[in-house]
């Protein structure tokens, strides 16, 4: 409807088209424009690929780190199951008493298995491992206590359950000291938390960079089309109409960049997997690297499309406004 | 149709382009706007198409004060005004058809409707056979006619032309003016800015003359103030 001339109607209204047709036309129009923008990218393949590459690689880094952190968590869960408790016995406990204790404890429901290491065996082991050799012979008496290694059942292997079990074991008369081998695990968790924060921060910075890069690319596109935008404004195009093809360009940058990142992440993971199998075999660890599931791929595509749209929105809002017929 | 009330325009550099201009173009009227280069012709046209805003005074189209039109509404105002430029303002990388179709595409017409209207407009300016050509392949006069076809394709009630015959020889200029007469006879109000006094002399239309930003004559009489 015209502002100046009452009764003079514009466009679709003039043709008496129904609302349903208008609705369909709206989507057909948008589809056509999005394909047109895709065609524009195809017409300048080199420039487009560079922008898409920047976006793709920028997403690859946080994406890969995210997967590394996720997998490290999974491995550490494997280790957590293997946590064992070391019980150091009082030095005045005889060998026979110690064996009795082993018998008593092995019937506990929380205990999977127990191995007993007498004090002299422990010294022998220490002699071999430490390389101190003869020096140990000069000791007047064996300074090492006898040790019981208690492996909890899998139900009692979680950090909290295991420390409860440890408290219970400490109550035993023969036990001088008990130690749970999960402190390093707690440290690992703390490190992983820091790593997660770092990945998040890094991702945020890279996303910011991506928005700026796309914004700048779209700015150059706008400058290249300055004459066209001028003519469009002269014949009555609204800003939104002029924005639309650039927004679609941003959308495609984001979408194709996201797919690109997915591919590079897959390649990187395949490469890591292939390289790590030998190393892991040495540690008797079995690791299947979990790649990206559909949820993660979906989130990544959403993020990259979002970044593309944000970059182009910031650019068109600022620069299309500046182009005014003089 | 167009009414100027005590309109002055001073550019930011302090240069006064128009001062206290008053005139009224009736609906369905055709008039020439003339004067030296720098007399304010282009500024006057820019105030009508809201490429510039007046410093003082009111510009009214069909009784609506353009001072009340917000930035976001300007696009809709321009859809009611067919504009023709000396430099054509055609998109050289699009076909003649696409150039003429642009205002209709912007308004969201259907493809079928666009095709029939564009061909009708091209027929009016005698370029029906060149729809698929690129504007680069056309002569200056033909390019100007493409610009005119684009200006009238959505049947605006008002046509503005800024030096439409600037680069054309007298014969071609006359053809262009005849086209404007045709549209005027169909009820369109037409305002043509030109310094081609020979052209104006051969036509008996109202002539508005600007000199240093002031409207010095407003009428049918011949003036000799302009560029010889």
Better-predicted residue by pLDDT, A274 or A76 = A274
Residue A284 is predicted with a pLDDT of 66
Among B73, B89, B109, whose Cβ lies nearest the Cβ of A234? B89
Cβ separation B91–A228 shorter than 8 A: yes
Beta-bridge partners for B28: none
Distance of alpha carbon A94 from alpha carbon A90, whole angstroms: 9
How far apart are the C-alpha atoms of B215 and B228, rounded to whole Å? 19
The answer to whether A201 faces chain B, any CB pair under 8 Å, is no
Is B221's pLDDT higher than 70? no
The alpha carbon of A75 is separated from its chain's Cα centroid by a whole number of angstroms, namely 15
- In angstroms, rounded to a whole number, what is the distance separating the alpha carbons of residues B191 and A88? 105
The pair of structure tokens assigned to A97 is 């008493």
- What integer pLDDT is reported at residue A232 of this predicted model? 92
pLDDT at B223 over 50: no
pLDDT at B227 over 60: no
The whole-number pLDDT of residue A14 equals 54
For the stretch B125-145, pLDDT in tens is: 999 999 999 999 999 889 999
Range with the lowest mean pLDDT among A108-112, A225-229, A264-268, B26-30? A108-112
Note the pLDDT of residue A81.
54
Considering only CB atoms, which chain B residues are within 8 Å of A324?
Answer: 51
In the predicted structure, residue A15 carries a pLDDT above the cut 90: no
pLDDT of residue A127 exceeding 80: no
pTM, 2 dp: 0.75
pLDDT of residue B226: 41
Shortest Cα–Cα distance, A12 to chain B (Å): 5
What pLDDT score does B86 carry?
85
Q: Across chain A, what does the average pLDDT equal?
A: 83
Give A77-83's long-range contacts (Cβ < 8 A, gap of 24+): A78/A285, A79/A185, A80/A157, A80/A158, A80/A159, A80/A182, A80/A185, A81/A154, A81/A157, A82/A151, A82/A157, A83/A152, A83/A157, A83/A159, A83/A162, A83/A180, A83/A181, A83/A182, A83/A185
Comma-separated ranges of CATH 3.30.70.3040 domains in chain A: 85-179
Do A241 and B61 make contact, defined as CB atoms within 8 angstroms?
A: no
* Crossing angle (nearest 10°) for helices B140-152 and B111-124: 130
Would you call A171 an interface residue with chain B, using a CB distance cutoff of 8 Å? Answer: no
Closest to A67 (Cα-Cα) out of A299, A284, A279? A299
Contacts of A239 in chain B (CB under 8 A): 72, 75
Integer CA distances (angstroms), B217 to A192, B22, B48, B221, in order: 85, 11, 20, 8
User: Would you call A29 and B108 a contact, using CB atoms and an 8 Å cutoff?
Assistant: yes
Distance CA B88, CA A34 (A): 29
* % of chain B with per-residue pLDDT over 70: 96
Q: What architecture (CATH level 2) is domain A85-179? A: 2-Layer Sandwich (3.30)
State the Cα torsion A278-A282-A287-A288 to the nearest 10°. 20
| Stronger pLDDT, A126 or B20, i.e. the higher one | B20
Q: What is the pLDDT of residues B46-102, one digit of tens each?
A: 999 999 999 999 999 988 999 999 988 999 999 999 999 888 889 998 999 999 999
- Of A98-112, A218-232, B21-35, the range with the lowest mean pLDDT is A98-112
Q: Answer whether residue A1 shows pLDDT above 70.
A: no
Question: Do A151 and A84 contact (CB within 8 A), yes or no?
Answer: yes
Mutate to test the interface with B, among A29, A236, A241 (most CBs of B within 10 A): A236
A9 CA: distance to closest CA in chain B (Å): 10
Chain A CB within 8 Å of residue B51 CB = yes
* Contact check, Cβ <8 Å, B79/A10: yes
Checking if the pLDDT of B176 tops 80, the result is yes
Structure tokens at B168: 């054309």
């Amino acid at each position: 409807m015209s502002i100046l001339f009452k009764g003079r109607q514009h466009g679709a209204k003039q043709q008496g088209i129904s609302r349903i047709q208008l609705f369909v036309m709206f989507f057909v129009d948008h589809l056509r424009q999005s394909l047109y923008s895709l065609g524009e990218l195809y017409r300048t393949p080199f420039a487009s690929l560079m922008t898409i590459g920047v976006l793709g690689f920028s997403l690859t880094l946080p994406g890969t780190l995210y997967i590394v952190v996720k997998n490290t968590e999974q491995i550490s869960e494997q280790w957590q199951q293997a946590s064992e408790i070391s019980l150091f016995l009082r030095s005045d406990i005889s060998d026979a008493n110690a064996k009795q204790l082993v018998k008593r404890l092995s019937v506990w429901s929380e205990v999977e298995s127990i191995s007993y290491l007498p004090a002299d065996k422990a010294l022998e082991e220490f002699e071999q491992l430490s390389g101190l050799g003869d020096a140990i012979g000069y000791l007047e008496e064996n300074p090492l206590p006898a040790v019981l290694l208690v492996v909890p059942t899998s139900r009692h292997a979680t950090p909290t359950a295991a420390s409860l079990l440890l408290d219970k074991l400490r109550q035993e008369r023969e036990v001088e000291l008990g130690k749970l081998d999960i402190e390093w695990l707690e440290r690992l968790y703390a490190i992983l938390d820091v790593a997660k924060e770092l990945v998040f921060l890094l991702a945020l910075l890279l996303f910011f960079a991506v928005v700026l890069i796309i914004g700048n690319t779209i700015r150059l596109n706008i400058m290249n089309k300055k004459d066209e935008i001028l003519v469009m404004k002269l014949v009555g195009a609204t800003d939104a109409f002029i924005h639309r093809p650039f927004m679609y360009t941003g959308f495609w940058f984001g979408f194709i960049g996201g797919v690109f990142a997915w591919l590079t992440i897959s390649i990187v993971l395949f490469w890591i997997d292939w390289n790590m199998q030998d190393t892991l075999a040495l540690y008797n660890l079995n690791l299947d690297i979990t790649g990206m599931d559909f949820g993660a791929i979906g989130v990544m595509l959403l993020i990259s499309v979002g970044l593309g749209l944000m970059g182009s929105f910031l650019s068109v809002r600022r620069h299309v406004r500046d182009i005014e017929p003089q | 149709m167009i009414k100027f009330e005590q309109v002055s325009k001073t550019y930011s550099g302090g240069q006064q382009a128009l001062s206290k201009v008053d005139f009224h173009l009736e609906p369905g009227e055709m008039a020439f706007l003339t004067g030296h280069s720098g007399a304010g012709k282009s500024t006057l046209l820019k105030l009508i198409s809201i490429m510039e805003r007046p410093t003082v005074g009111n510009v009214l189209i069909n009784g609506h004060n353009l001072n009340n039109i917000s930035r976001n509404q300007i696009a809709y105002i321009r859809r009611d005004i067919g504009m023709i430029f000396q430099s054509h303002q055609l998109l050289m990388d699009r076909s003649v058809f696409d150039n003429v179709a642009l205002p209709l595409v912007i308004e969201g017409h259907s493809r079928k409707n666009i095709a029939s209207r564009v061909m009708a407009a091209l027929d009016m300016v005698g370029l029906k056979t060149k729809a698929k050509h690129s504007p680069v392949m056309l002569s200056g006069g033909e390019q100007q006619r493409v610009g005119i076809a684009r200006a009238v394709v959505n049947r605006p009630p008002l046509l503005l032309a800024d030096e439409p015959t600037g680069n054309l020889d007298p014969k071609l200029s006359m053809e262009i003016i005849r086209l404007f007469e045709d549209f005027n006879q169909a009820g369109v109000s037409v305002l043509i800015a030109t310094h081609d006094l020979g052209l104006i002399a051969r036509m008996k239309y109202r002539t508005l003359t600007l000199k240093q930003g002031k409207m010095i004559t407003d009428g049918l009489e011949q003036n000799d103030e302009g560029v010889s």
